[in-house]
Amino acid sequence: MPAVVRIITRLNIGGPSIQAIRLTTDLPPLGYETTLLHGRIGEGEGDMLQILPAGAADLRPIRWLCRPVRPLDDLRAFVAIWALLRRLRPAIVHTHMAKAGLLGRLAAVCHNLTAGRARRARIVHTYHGHVLDGYFSAWTTRVFVALERGLARFTDAIVAISPRIRDELAGRFGIGRLDQYRIVPLGLDLSPYTEVAAGHRQGARQALALDQGALVVSTVGRLTAIKNHRLLFAAARLVLARVPRALFVIAGDGELRADLEREASALGIAERVRFLGWRRDLPAVYAASDVVAVTSDNEGTPVALIEAMASGVPGVSTDVGGVADLVRDGVTGLLVPSGRADALAAALERLLTDDGLRLEMGRRARASVAEAYSIQRLVGDIDRLYRSLGAGAGATATP
């Protein structure tokens, strides 16, 4: 039975954590032994462990593994991961997120050097997006690009969650060879969202204390700089001047919440903005929404957008990262240039004021994601990937 060690920087609420947890829990029935190594979450981030049933997965916390660059803690985390790999002797080491991708792959390479050819682990890394745009200074980004290029030489398979993410990594940044890449879109349990019907709207709005007659624009996720909620607020000011019934709902939390609350007040829109914090009842948030907005400067494939589309709610999003591989502009949602508050406002106003268009886009959106982004499809794709590397269930690993 092949052993898989999965490594992720932290289990904060978001797409990478959902993927890592579901692959850890859903691969064993296919004949894998799975272990998930994870670091600690940052301040203000939602914790996926709080919604994971006890005993649902073999989880091993790495206390020194965290998102910020901290050389001493990073060294300790590397040593801890290496020690666990030597003990677990996996057939596959699969890493998720930037920090885990760096330390986990370095530890896997060291493990392979000492384990011998017959026990060499196959190394897989998933890019759920990347941190090479909008996160760091130009100099720091160049360092990270160099590190990623070097690590790609020791990686057996590079997973990108959309064709555009692959094209950016391989083409623009020169990371890895095209033949190393596999396109594996996100996979989620969408049943709680596909079951949401228009009839739930009244109850959902009542539960969230939202006006029944409002035109609700919601956004779901971390309140952090890369998500660019300030762009949403700038657009909201323009929309409210023409559509006073609009109401902007922010589901999520993070280090920028206090700043954003002050921003809403400074713009004079605070009365039409609701901060809900982290919510476990996201199907109700989408049921209460007319449109979902994504305003990020950089994205992989936004989980919130998939969930909204599965709920029959069209999205308006900045055209960044892999979003265009998910949303067909003008068919299942609307795409706007990054940083353009006027374009975002016009797209939001278009959907809020055209009931027929909004409902039709929502119907098409639901149909487009129901199977393409299912958890069953994801697990099958990863199983086939592992088998192709000679390390799948029932396969004998080759040196």
On whether both 129 and 170 belong to a single domain, the answer is yes
Considering the domain boundaries, does residue 176 fall inside one?
yes
Considering the domain boundaries, does residue 298 fall inside one?
yes
β-bridge pairing 181-183 and 215-220: unpaired
pLDDT in tens, 280-312: 899 999 999 999 999 999 888 899 999 999 999
SS (H, E, C) 92-143: EEEEECHHHHHHHHHHHHHHHHHHCHHHCCEEEEEECCCCCCCCCCHHHHHH
Considering the domain boundaries, does residue 36 fall inside one?
yes
Q: Give the per-residue pLDDT at 55.
A: 66
Kindly tell me the sign of the dihedral angle through the C-alpha atoms of 149, 132, 316, 251.
positive
pLDDT in tens, 214-226: 999 999 998 999 9
How confident is the model over 24-43, as a mean pLDDT? 91
Q: Give the per-residue pLDDT at 12.
A: 84
181-183 sheet: strands from edge to edge:
59-61, 33-38, 3-8, 92-96, 122-127, 157-160, 181-183
Considering the domain boundaries, does residue 74 fall inside one?
yes
Type of residue at 241: A
Structural domain boundaries, residue 268: 191-369
The answer to whether residue 239 scores a pLDDT higher than 70 is yes
Domain CATH code at residue 280: 3.40.50.2000
pLDDT in tens, 369-395: 988 999 999 999 999 999 999 875 544
The answer to whether residue 329 scores a pLDDT higher than 80 is yes
On whether both 195 and 125 belong to a single domain, the answer is no
Distance between CA atoms of residues 247 and 235, nearest Å: 12
On whether both 54 and 162 belong to a single domain, the answer is yes
Residue 216 forms beta bridges with which residues? 247
The answer to whether residue 396 scores a pLDDT higher than 50 is no
Q: What radius of gyration do the chain's Cα atoms show?
A: 21
On whether both 328 and 195 belong to a single domain, the answer is yes
Q: What is the DSSP letter of 374?
A: B
Question: Residues 350-380, buried b or exposed e (16+ Cβ, 10 A)?
Answer: ebbeeeeebeebbebbbebbeeebbbebbbe
On whether both 133 and 249 belong to a single domain, the answer is no
Q: How confident is the model at residue 399 (pLDDT cuts 50, 70, 90)?
A: very low
pLDDT in tens, 67-97: 888 999 999 999 999 999 999 999 999 999 9
On whether both 287 and 149 belong to a single domain, the answer is no
For 381, phi and psi rounded to 5 degrees? -60, -45
Sequential DSSP letters for 262-274: HHHHHTT-GGGEE
Considering the domain boundaries, does residue 296 fall inside one?
yes
Considering the domain boundaries, does residue 319 fall inside one?
yes
On whether both 148 and 231 belong to a single domain, the answer is no
Neighbours of 243 (CB within 10 A): 17
On whether both 173 and 103 belong to a single domain, the answer is yes
On whether both 183 and 68 belong to a single domain, the answer is yes
On whether both 127 and 248 belong to a single domain, the answer is no
The answer to whether residue 52 scores a pLDDT higher than 70 is no
Considering the domain boundaries, does residue 395 fall inside one?
no
Q: Give the per-residue pLDDT at 148.
A: 95
Contacts of 191 (CB under 8 A, 6+ apart): none
Considering the domain boundaries, does residue 320 fall inside one?
yes
Distance between CA atoms of residues 242 and 173, nearest Å: 42
On whether both 178 and 106 belong to a single domain, the answer is yes
How high does pLDDT run on average in the chain? Answer: 91
Q: What is the helix, strand, coil percentage profile of the chain, to 5?
A: 45, 15, 35
On whether both 331 and 232 belong to a single domain, the answer is yes
Residue 183 forms beta bridges with which residues? 160
Q: Judging by beta carbons within 10 Å of its beta carbon (0-12, 13-18, 19+), is residue 55 exposed, middle or buried?
A: exposed
- How many domains is the chain partitioned into structurally? 2
